[in-house]
Amino acid sequence: MNILILCPDNATLSILLETLLNDLGAGRIAACSAGPAPAGAVHPQALKLLEEEDLDTSRAAPKPVDEFTGPDAVEIDLLITLGPVTPPRLAICGDPARGHWQMTDPATLPEDAWDEGFRRVYDMLRERAKRLLEHPVETMDSGELTALLTRLGRG
């Protein structure tokens, strides 16, 4: 199962969730992330936190969403958008189930609040990723996946 996580700059929220899903999914799923306006680098506080958690950051890099559109793109089964606003509907390869998880990007906080803000968002994303992977996502239909993402996005 291919999961794509989209966030505007693909530097914080989507990188955290991509890394968590790949770690917790342990080969069950393949998560990747992108953004319509990718930053030049992953936010340093996100990298610091992932490294403190001893998670593999070797694939953590902002990517343009264009990599996941068009005839040569990998087919996406599940699309999760993150951030304060739902991005416009994009023509992602495949017909993925979709869900939006509204949350504040901790990179917008003052620097002296980063430790607490990034930890809070990381813990929330980790809990949602764990709850998502408690389900047989590989065999669920699009409607079931969409409903599950909606429920997880509320909690």
155 occurs within a structural domain? no
DSSP 86: P
Q: Quickly count: other Cβ atoms within 10 Å of residue 146's Cβ.
A: 17
Q: Is 38 a domain residue?
A: yes
Q: How many domains does the chain have?
A: 1
pLDDT at 149 over 70: yes
Residue 51 inside a domain? The answer is yes
**Would you say residue 129 lies in a domain?**
yes
**Residue 69: band (very low, low, confident or very high) from pLDDT cuts 50, 70, 90:** confident
Domain housing 102: 2-150
**Within a domain: 107:** yes
* CATH number of 81's domain: 3.40.50.2300
Give tens-digit pLDDT for 98-123.
999 999 999 999 999 999 999 999 99
Tell whether the model's pLDDT for residue 40 goes beyond 70.
yes
**pLDDT at residue 88, rounded to an integer:** 62
Helix axes 44-52 and 13-25, enclosed angle (nearest 10): 20
**Mean per-residue pLDDT of the chain:** 92
Find all residues with CB under 8 Å of 142, minimum gap 6, and list them: 95, 96, 97
In a domain, 77, yes or no: yes
Residue with tokens 């989209």: 6
Three-state SS string over 24-85 comes to HHCCCCEEEEEECCCCCCCCHHHHHHHHHCCCCCCCCCCCEHHHHCCCCCCCCCEEEEEECC
What integer is the mean pLDDT of 39-53?
A: 96
